[in-house]
Structures are given as C-alpha cells and as structure tokens.
Amino acid sequence: MKKYGYLFAINLICLIPVFRVSAQQFNYNFDSLKRVIQKHPNDPASIHACVDYAGKFFYTQSDSAFYYLNKAMALAKRTNNNIGYAYCLKNEGDLYAINGESKKAVMYYKQGLAAFKKSKENVLYIKILSNLAITYKNLGALDSAMQTFDQVSAAFKNNLHTHQDSIALAVHYIQLFDTYRVQGFKDDALFYGEKAYTLSKTINYERGIGYGLYVEGLKYYQADPALALKYCNKALDIAVLKNISELQVFVRSLKADIFINAGKYRQAEEELLKDTHYTAGSIRLVTNSKLAKVYYYLKDYQRALGCYQYAITLAYGLGYRSEIASTLENGIDIYQKLGNYKTAFVLLKKHEQVQSEMASDKLKLDYERSALKFRAAEKDKQLAQNRLTIEEKDNRLKRQSLLIMSSIFIIVLLIIVALLIYHQQKKLQAQRIKNLESAKKIQMLDAAMSGEEKERKRIAENLHDGIGGLLSAVKMRFSIFKNEYPELKASGAYNKAIAMLDDASAEIRKTAHNLMPDMLVRFGLDEALQVFCDNLNQFNQLKIRYECIGEIGRFNKNVELMIYRMVQELINNTIKHSNAKNAYVQLSRQRNVLSVSIEDDGCGFDKQSLQTAKGMGLNAIEDRINSLGGMLEIDSTLGNGVYIYFELDILDFNIKSNR
C-alpha cells in the first residue's frame, strides 16, 4: 500500500495552506516547541506543540512522529480536550496515509469525525472529511469517496466566511476533478474543473487557476490544438512557479498528446522525459503510459513494451480505470506490431471489460444522483402539502406524477442508450478479434506455402541441375561411343537407349517446371495456367481446354501460387482417377470475386462417397479455400464426370492488385 502514500501526500499539499484551527495557534520553531513540551507536560498547549513537533518527522522518521502524536493523544484524554483529541486523531490518520497504510488511516479519520461532531469545529470537520474522501479514492472505494465528497460539498455551504474558506472550496473542486478524471468520468471531471477555475479566478488563487488552465487545455486539445497549447504553457508557468509537481506532470502529458496528434513524436518524448525523476506512482503511471505511445509511433517497439509493462502494473495497482483503459490500448497496438497476437487478444478482452465497468459505474452514478434528487423532491412535496388546499394538493400530485414519469423515462432511456452502446462496442470488439484471427491464419498459411515452395524449388533445381545434367552427360558419352564404334549406328538397342535418355530428360524438365512454375512468377496466374494446360496437352491423352474471362491482374504472390497449386492438384486428380478424355478449366474475375471451375467427362463418383473422394487431396484444397474465406462446390454422379467450382473474395484476405 506504499504507493497510495505518494498520492495522499500530493493531495495533502493542496490542503496545508488552507485549513486553520480556531483554537490557539503556535508559531514556535522546533526548539521552542520542544521546550513547551518539556516545561508544561500537562498543559493543553502541549497537545498542539506535540502535534506540530511530530510534523517535523512525518516524511523522515515516522517512528518519532508516532511517538509525539501518541504523547499528545494521551494528554488530550487526561484533560478531556475533545478538540485536541480529534486534532490528534486527524494527524494520526494523515501519518498512516502518508506511509501507505490507508485502511488504518480510514479508522483514525472516522474516530476523529466522531470527536469533531462533539466539538462544533466545522472547518476542522471539513478538513478531516476531505482527507477521508481522498483516502477512500486511493483505496479504490469509489462509492464511499463520492459520498464523502458530497458531505464536504454540503458542509461548505454554511462555512464560506473568509478568503481562506473560498480557497478551501476551490481545492475541494480540484480534488473532485482529479477523482472523476482517474475513474474515467470525463464530463463530471470537466464540470468540477471549470468550477475550480471560475472560483479561483474570482479569489485570485493561483494554484486553482493553474489547474483551471489545464482543464481548459483538456477541453480544446482535439478541437483546437493551438489554443490548448497556449493554455498548457500558461498552466505550466504557474505549476513551475508554485512548484506543483503533479500539475506539471498533467500539463506535460497533455502537451505530449497534442504533439503526438500532430506527429511530433520527438517533442512529445522530450516533454515526458522531464518527469521521469519523480517517484510518485501516479506520476510514473502517466509518464510511462504516454512514453509507450510515443515509442510505438517511433517504431521502437521494445522500449514501448517496457514502458507499457511498467505503466499497466502501476495502473492496476492504483485502480485508475481511465489510465488502465488507455494503457491497454497501447499494449494491444504494441503486441500486434511485435506479432504476439495471442497477448494482444487477451489485452483486448481486458480492455473490453474495463470499458464495460466504466460505463456501468457511470450509469450507476447517474442513477444514484437521480434517486437522491427524487427523494429530496419527495420531502419538499410532503412539507408543502401541509400548507396547501385540497385543490392545490391535487395539482401538486399531478405535477409530481409527471416528474416521476419523466425521471423514469429518462432513466430507462439512459439504460437503453448505454446498452446499445455496449452492444455496439461488443460487436466492434468481436470484429477486431475476427480480423486478428483471420490475419493470423493467413500469416500461418503464407509461412506454410513459403516453406513448401522453397522445398519444391530445391527439388526442382536438384532434378534440373543434378539428374538432368547427369543424363545429358550420359547422352554425350553415348554419342562419343557411336563415333568410336561405328557399328553402333546400326544397333536398334543403342538407338532405343538414346531415345529413352531423351524421353527421361524431357520428363525431368517437365517435372522441374511443374515444381517451380517460372511463368507464374514472371507473368501471373492466367499465363501460368495456360502454359500448364498446354504442356499437359502435349504429353497426355487428356485434352484440356483453358479459358480466361475478364482481366485477372496480379495478386499477392502467395495467393497466386496457392490457386495455381490447387488447379494443378485437381487436374492431376482428373488424370489419375477419372479416365476422362476431355477437361475444361475456366478462370474468371468479376470485380472482387475470383472464381475457378474445372470440369471433365470421366467416370465421376457417387456423392455419397464424397468423403472418401476427399482423400485425393480435396481435404487440403478445402482447408486452404476456407482459410481464405472462400467457397468450394463439388458436383458428380457416376458415369457423368466431375464439376468443381471455387471462388474467393479478394477483399477478405487483402489481395493487392497491381493492375
């Protein structure tokens, strides 16, 4: 829980110059405080002296701080000093919060609230409420934080008597802005940020003006980046002047977003690196999350991954859902670029869950606010009814019924809209997942095809250069024998051997060509299929007629090769199994649909035995077509040949035409 101490300390700094104790104040230096404690051990003045002296050790020696706070509490109990005792409890809670022990801090704040209620010290009561709300926020108890902040707002209504009280209200609005911001409630955050800005300008409170300028920049950074940058620079001047480190981080982060949107990634990096020396968890979270995005756009994916992993750990630890959502988006993009689609998919599901929780909590918050307003209106109605006549009561009831129906209608409408948005987001996420899976399948298929083609090329080269060369050498040697032994010219066996060598060489050349079709690489699918069919017509009894309809163009080389291999496999099946005399191959393209049909007049087969027939290479063909989002049809009857048709939608697998 140590990380929450940093956040509490930052929020506590906003409150230190604001709240005051109406009891006697002490302005001694630390040595004077120690003398007061030693000379007047039982005097009520020593209570405040001990607490103030403990403050010396809050950030350095917590053991010493606890010692003097406990000393003050013991004295307050002995003297029945409720104000002093409550003041000690409040500081005890502050010290636990600074040390990251937020649950203990909540316990002491609640005890302090009970004591403050007995003392009528309203400003001190507001102070402890505010610190309790901050601690609830750091614990991730959003509902409790919101309710406590509402109590603080109500307490301020009757306690704005001085300039310092107005400053305290401005600080309260800033805290509300930060609470809603980190939980992803942008509209509520901007609302309270603007209230803080308006009030701070009225009372000339520079710290609040700085936060207000940052809020204005947040409003305009997408619609008008130049204007937003001006607000940021003004806010940064105040933050540096007043040494408000968290505001400096917020402003630099917003400037980084503006530079990222403008494509100025190095300037964004320069802004963010100025904050890497801070140790507070919230600051490191903002900085590393934005750096991950910057390095992603700079294509430095390893550094982007490192920043992302550090930021997401902090985001989950702090419970800042808006930062969790934005950091997860960075992680999805980074892992996709690194080719780790499985992790990207897992992050996508987490992002969907966070977005759903944020939408659900927003709806719940709106509903609770409407319910509170409705209950308040009911109380007012009951009081008014005691003063109205029977006729006025009837009119009041009608108006109230209309108000109830309107409220119910608005709530139902909000729920319907939220559900529609949720389902739409769910559909979009499902489509993104489908696209990722499709891309992964195509990538795996490309890798398999590349491996197969490399092996085919190697075998073809071995046949052509190895066995083909060896056969040529043998033929050359036989030719020399013919010159050395003239009687071989008349030998039928010799001439038959020479003819067999020629046939073997031709067969090897044909086989090597089929293994690695050079025409496909040079001229594309149409020309390669035409040459393939022409070559088969020269060496087989099967006569193949080839026809191309439409302008086919050039595709991704792996897709062209895949289609060529499928046609090659189907024609080979026809030669081996159909006993056909004639075959017809047609290739056509209509807009984005590429289709291939192969028909023969062979023996065919029964449709009932189609699964058995798929053993002839059809399973592999069907798998390849399905992986590309295509469609395959097979039609055959005994004695009536076979008709095979398949088509592919070019857009489904992002074929890029070079026409």
Output the pTM of the full model: 0.43
Asked if residue 512 is part of any domain, the answer here is: no
Measure the CA angle with vertex 312, ends 306 and 313; round to 5°: 95
Asked if residue 25 is part of any domain, the answer here is: yes
Asked if residue 271 is part of any domain, the answer here is: no
How many separate domains does the chain show? 3
Interstrand relation of 631-636 and 543-549 (parallel, antiparallel or unpaired): unpaired
Cα–Cα nearest to 585, from 572, 601, 569, 600: 600
Q: Helix, strand or coil for residue 165?
A: helix
Same domain for 148 and 178: no
Non-local (6+) Cβ contacts of 629 within 8 A are 438, 648, 649, 652, 653
Element (H, E) at 634: strand 631-636
Of 161-170, 278-287, 530-539, 644-653, give the range with the top mean pLDDT.
530-539
Q: In whole angstroms, what is the distance from residue 443 CA to residue 426 CA?
A: 26
Q: In whole angstroms, what is the distance from residue 529 CA to residue 251 CA?
A: 63
Range of the domain at 641: 522-653
Asked if residue 73 is part of any domain, the answer here is: yes
pLDDT at 645 exceeding the cut of 80: yes
pLDDT at 225 exceeding the cut of 60: yes
Asked if residue 176 is part of any domain, the answer here is: yes
Q: Domain boundary residue among 119, 143, 159? A: 159
Same domain for 149 and 19: yes
Same domain for 85 and 18: yes
pLDDT in tens, 325-338: 888 988 899 989 88
Same domain for 166 and 153: no
Same domain for 183 and 80: no
Q: Domain boundary residue among 203, 227, 246? A: 246
pLDDT in tens, 540-587: 788 999 999 888 887 777 778 888 888 988 888 888 888 889 999 999
**Residues paired with residue 596 on neighbouring β-strands, in sequence order:** 587, 646
Cα–Cα nearest to 147, from 371, 448, 404: 371
- Number of Cβ within a 10 Å radius of residue 26: 16
Is residue 523 within 8 A of residue 511, CB to CB? The reply is no
Q: Domain boundary residue among 130, 159, 188? A: 159
Same domain for 29 and 120: yes
What CATH number does the domain containing 560 carry?
Answer: 3.30.565.10
pLDDT in tens, 454-502: 666 667 555 555 565 566 666 666 666 666 677 666 676 677 677 676 6
User: So what's the pLDDT on residue 20?
Assistant: 35
pLDDT at 604 exceeding the cut of 70: yes
What CATH number does the domain containing 155 carry?
Answer: 1.25.40.10
Q: In whole angstroms, what is the distance from residue 56 CA to residue 66 CA?
A: 11
pLDDT at 369 exceeding the cut of 70: no
CA distance readout (Å), 382 to 368, 374, 376, 385: 21, 12, 10, 5
SS3 breakdown of the chain: % helix, strand, coil, rounded to 5? Answer: 75, 5, 20
- Number of Cβ within a 10 Å radius of residue 247: 22
User: What DSSP assignment string belongs to 76-136?
Assistant: HHHTT-HHHHHHHHHHHHHHHHHTT-HHHHHHHHHHHHHHHHHHT-HHHHHHHHHHHHHHH
pLDDT in tens, 258-282: 988 889 989 988 888 887 877 767 7
Same domain for 71 and 3: yes
Taken in order 481, 482, 483, 485, is the CA torsion positive or negative?
positive
Which comes out higher in pLDDT, residue 616 or 547? 547
Asked if residue 461 is part of any domain, the answer here is: no
Same domain for 145 and 183: no
| CB under 8 A, 24+ apart: contacts of 607-616 | 607/635, 607/636, 607/637, 610/634, 616/573, 616/576, 616/577
Asked if residue 617 is part of any domain, the answer here is: yes
Residue 150 corresponds to which amino acid? D
Element (H, E) at 273: helix 265-273
Region at 243 (left for phi over 0; alpha for psi -120 to 50; beta for the rest): left
Same domain for 119 and 32: yes
User: So what's the pLDDT on residue 14?
Assistant: 46
Same domain for 102 and 1: yes
Looking at the chain, the whole-number percentage of residues with pLDDT higher than 90 is 6
pLDDT at 1 exceeding the cut of 50: no
Lowest mean pLDDT among 104-118, 146-160, 406-420, 421-435: 146-160
Asked if residue 496 is part of any domain, the answer here is: no
Region at 141 (left for phi over 0; alpha for psi -120 to 50; beta for the rest): beta
Same domain for 207 and 99: no
Integer-rounded Cα Rg, in Å, for the chain is: 40
CA distance readout (Å), 161 to 118, 127, 158, 168, 270: 22, 15, 8, 11, 45
pLDDT in tens, 392-438: 777 777 888 888 888 898 999 889 988 889 888 888 888 888 767 76
pLDDT at 3 exceeding the cut of 50: no
Same domain for 185 and 75: no
